[in-house]
Amino acid sequence: MKLILKMLLPLLLLIFIVAPGVTGFLVESAVEENQGDVGTLMKSSPFELLDNDFRRGWFQSGQTTELGIKEPRIVSMLQQIAGASETTTRPSLVVETTAAHGVIPLANPEKGGFKPAVAQTESELFLKYNDGRIVDLPFTVYSSLGLGEWAKIDADPIKEIITTDRGTVDLDWQGGTVQLTRGSSITAAGDLKQLKLHSDQGSLEWSALAFKSDVTMGQYAFADSDNSIEISSAKFTSVDKSEVSLDDFRMQGGVEAHNGRALATGQITSGPIMVAGLTIDTTDAAMRYNVDAVAFSALYELLKQQPSALTQNDNSAPAVADSAAIFAALGKLATQGARVTIEKFDIALNGESISLAFDLEIPPDYSDPVQALRNGTGNGEFTIPQSVVDLLSQVKPEIGSAVQMGAGFGFIKKQGNNYSTTIVFENGVLLLNDLPVPLPL
User: For the segment 364-388, what is each residue's pLDDT rounded down to a tens digit?
Assistant: 988 888 899 889 999 999 999 999 9
* pLDDT interval class at 184 (50, 70, 90): confident
Examine the domain organization and report whether 125 and 273 are in the same domain.
no
Domain boundary among 290, 318, 339: 339
Examine the domain organization and report whether 12 and 140 are in the same domain.
yes
Q: How many structural domains comprise the chain?
A: 2
Residue 47 lies in a domain: yes
pLDDT in tens, 136-154: 878 787 776 655 566 778 8
In this prediction, residue 165 carries a pLDDT of: 60
Residue 42 lies in a domain: yes
**Enclosing H/E stretch for 429:** strand 429-432
pLDDT, greater one: 303 or 434: 434
Examine the domain organization and report whether 2 and 147 are in the same domain.
yes
Residue 413 lies in a domain: no
Residue type, 321: A
Lowest mean pLDDT across 122-131, 158-167, 192-201, 217-226: 158-167
**Enclosing H/E stretch for 145:** strand 134-145
Spatial separation of the C-alpha atoms in residues 182 and 58, rounded to whole Å: 26
> In whole numbers, what is the pLDDT of the chain averaged over residues?
78
Examine the domain organization and report whether 279 and 150 are in the same domain.
no
Examine the domain organization and report whether 102 and 242 are in the same domain.
no
pLDDT, greater one: 61 or 433: 433
Examine the domain organization and report whether 113 and 222 are in the same domain.
no
Examine the domain organization and report whether 94 and 238 are in the same domain.
no
Q: In 174-320, which ranges are E strands?
A: 176-182, 186-192, 195-199, 202-206, 209-216, 224-238, 243-258, 261-270, 273-275, 278-280, 282-292
Examine the domain organization and report whether 141 and 234 are in the same domain.
no
Examine the domain organization and report whether 140 and 230 are in the same domain.
no
Closest to 146 measured CA to CA, from 118, 126, 172, 124: 118
Closest to 291 measured CA to CA, from 326, 325, 258, 269: 258
pLDDT winner (highest mean) among 37-46, 133-142, 425-434: 425-434
Spatial separation of the C-alpha atoms in residues 82 and 158, rounded to whole Å: 9
Q: Dihedral of CA 339/284/206/137: which sign? A: negative
Examine the domain organization and report whether 11 and 140 are in the same domain.
yes
Residue 383 lies in a domain: no
In this prediction, residue 84 carries a pLDDT of: 60
First to last CA, the chain: 90
Is a pLDDT exceeding 90 seen at residue 50?
no
* pLDDT interval class at 277 (50, 70, 90): confident
**Enclosing H/E stretch for 370:** helix 369-374
pLDDT in tens, 57-76: 666 777 788 888 777 777 77
Above pLDDT 90, what percent of the chain?
31
Residue 199 lies in a domain: no
Spatial separation of the C-alpha atoms in residues 118 and 345, rounded to whole Å: 49
Q: Containing domain of residue 66, as a range?
A: 1-154
Q: Dihedral of CA 326/327/329/334: which sign? A: positive
Domain boundary among 154, 188, 205: 154
Residue 208 lies in a domain: no
Note the Cα 372 to chain centre separation in Å: 33
Residue 133 lies in a domain: yes
Domain boundary among 339, 372, 392: 339
Q: Dihedral of CA 136/138/143/149: which sign? A: negative
Residue 117 lies in a domain: yes
Spatial separation of the C-alpha atoms in residues 287 and 267, rounded to whole Å: 7
Examine the domain organization and report whether 146 and 222 are in the same domain.
no
Closest to 59 measured CA to CA, from 99, 106, 29, 109: 99
